[in-house]
Amino acid sequence: MMSDNLNDKLAADILAAVDSGFEAQTTFTQDLIRYPSLRGQEHTAQDYLYGELSMRGYTMDRWAIDVSEIDQHPGFSPVTVDYSNAINVVATHRPRAEKGKSLILNGHVDVVPTGPADMWTRPPFDPWIDGDWLYGRGGADMKAGLVANIAALDALKSLGYQPAATTYIQSVTEEECTGNGALSCLVRGYNADAAIIPEPEDDKLVRANTGVIWFRVHLRGHPVHTRVAGSGFSAITGAYTLMESLRQLGERWNAEKDSHRYFEDLDHPINVVFGQIQGGDWPSMVPAWCWFDVRIAIYPGVDPRDAAIEIENCLREAAQADSTLANNPPDVEYTGFFAEGYVLEEGSDAEAALGRAHAKSFGSSLETFTTPGYLDGRVFVLYGDCPCLVYGPVSENIHGIDERVSLASTKRVTGSIALFIAEWCGLEKI
C-alpha cells in the first residue's frame, strides 16, 4: 500500500489516531523528562525507553559507545569522559515483505545541564503543563520529538497497520557534545533510505546547519604575592586577551557568510561562546593557571581540521603580540565536537514526501530554514548518503531556563511523521 499520495480517508484516519493517542503520548514524554539524562547519566532514560520499545514488540539492540570502533572515522569527535553510561538504543521493525523504502527515526536522549535550579519556575526535571506548553529540561530538546517518533508508529498500529519497510527507532546519546552516538549507530550498520530527526525546529525543515568545534585553552601564569603583582603574570588576565582574539576570529568568519550557500541572510551564523572558565588558587595570589572552554561554529564544507589550524594560528599570533603571553604560550585541547556542518540538498524524494505529509497535518506548505547550531543530521547526510529531515515542533528556551515545547505543534508534527511513514515506507496490515 505505497503511493506518492495517501488517499484522503486514510490520511484523515491516521491524523485522528494521532489525536486519540496524544494524551498518552504527552504522559510518555513527561515520564521521559523525569529521567535526568545529563552527560554520564543517560543510561536510566535509555533503560526506560528500551523497556517501552520492547513492550511494543520491536527487535532490540542496546550498547555502550565503543570509542575504538569509531575513532578513525572522519565524523568522530574527541572524547574526554568515560563512556560506560553512553548507551545507544535501537529498535528495529521488519515487515513481512519489503515493499517500501527504509527509514530511520532518530532522536537524542541526552540533555544539557539545567543551570541554577532556583531560576526555574519549578524543578527542571519535574515536568509541568501550562496551557499549550510542556515545561522541563529536555522536553523540547528533544524528548518530545523522540517520543513523537514512537507515537507515530503507535498511531499506525492502532489502525491495524505497520510499515511495509525496515524501520529503525534510534535513541542516541552524545548529541549535545560530540555527535558520537549517531555516528556509532551508523558504524554499527544502521542506515536507511531516509532519516527523520524531530528536533525543535519551529515546524520547519532544516536546509543547512553549521558544524561545531569544542576546545579548551590552557594558560600558565607567573604567580607572585599581590604586593608585587606587576612582576608576575596573571593567567586569567591572559585568558581575556586570547578570548578577544577568538571573538575577532569569529567576526572574520561571519564576514565570509556571503560565500556560503544558505547562510547569506543569517545575521550572525558563526557564534563564539566561552562556556566555562576556571583559574587561580587564592585571592591574594596572582593566578598561576587558567583554562577556558570555547564553542565555535564553522560553515558546511569547512574541514574541522582546517578550522583548527586557523584557531591555533589565531591564538599563537595573539600570544606573540603580547609581551607577557609571548613567554607563556597557550595550549589547545580539543574536548568534544569536531564536526562538519551539512546542507540538505533540495529535490529529494524524502523532502517531497515530508512536504505532502506536513501539508495534510498543518494545512500549510513546509518551510525550510538554516540554523547555526549542531545537528546529528550531518552523520546521515555526510557519511551515510542518507537524506536526513530535521523537522520538529515549536519550542522556547532550549538550553535555557524554563525550557518548553508546544503541545499543539508536537501533535501536528507527530501527524506529519505518521503520514510520512505511511507514504515512504508503505503500509501493511498487522
CATH number of residue 60's parent domain: 3.40.630.10
355 close to 362: Cβ distance less than 8 angstroms:
no
Question: Residue 14: which domain range?
Answer: 8-208+342-429
Q: Is residue 76, in this structure, part of any structural domain at all?
A: yes
Q: Is residue 379, in this structure, part of any structural domain at all?
A: yes
Residues 311 and 187 in one domain: no
pLDDT of 1 over the 50 cut: no
What is the tens place of the pLDDT at every residue in 121-140? 999 999 999 999 999 999 99
pLDDT of 3 over the 80 cut: no
What is the tens place of the pLDDT at every residue in 200-213? 999 999 999 999 99
Residues 126 and 225 in one domain: no
Q: Is residue 2, in this structure, part of any structural domain at all?
A: no
Indicate the pLDDT class of residue 229, thresholds 50, 70 and 90: confident
Residues 154 and 282 in one domain: no
Residues 310 and 417 in one domain: no
Domain boundary among 287, 317, 339: 339
What is the tens place of the pLDDT at every residue in 209-225? 999 999 999 999 998 89
d(CA 21, CA 27): 10
Domain boundary among 281, 306, 339: 339
DSSP letter at 222?
Answer: B
d(CA 308, CA 48): 39
93 close to 161: Cβ distance less than 8 angstroms:
no
- In DSSP notation, 114-129 reads ---GGGSSS-TTS-EE
Q: Is residue 3, in this structure, part of any structural domain at all?
A: no
DSSP letter at 141?
Answer: I
Residues 151 and 238 in one domain: no
Residues 195 and 236 in one domain: no
Residues 179 and 280 in one domain: no
Residues 229 and 175 in one domain: no
Q: Provide the b/e sequence for 294-320 (b: ≥16 CB within 10 Å).
A: bbbbbbbebebeebbeebeebbbebbe
For residue 327, the model assigns a pLDDT of 87
State the SS3 of 143-179.
Answer: HHHHHHHHHHHHHHHHCCEEECCCEEEEEECCCCCCC
Strands 427-429 and 211-220: unpaired
98 close to 164: Cβ distance less than 8 angstroms:
yes
pLDDT of 4 over the 80 cut: no
Domain boundary among 322, 339, 356: 339
Residues 86 and 169 in one domain: yes
Cβ atoms within 10 Å, residue 323: 8
Residues 131 and 224 in one domain: no
Mean pLDDT (whole number) for 90-104: 97
The total number of structural domains in the chain stands at 2
Q: Is residue 79, in this structure, part of any structural domain at all?
A: yes
Q: Is residue 415, in this structure, part of any structural domain at all?
A: yes
Indicate the pLDDT class of residue 230, thresholds 50, 70 and 90: confident
Residues 331 and 351 in one domain: no
Q: Round the average pLDDT of the chain to a whole number and report it.
A: 96
Q: Is residue 1, in this structure, part of any structural domain at all?
A: no
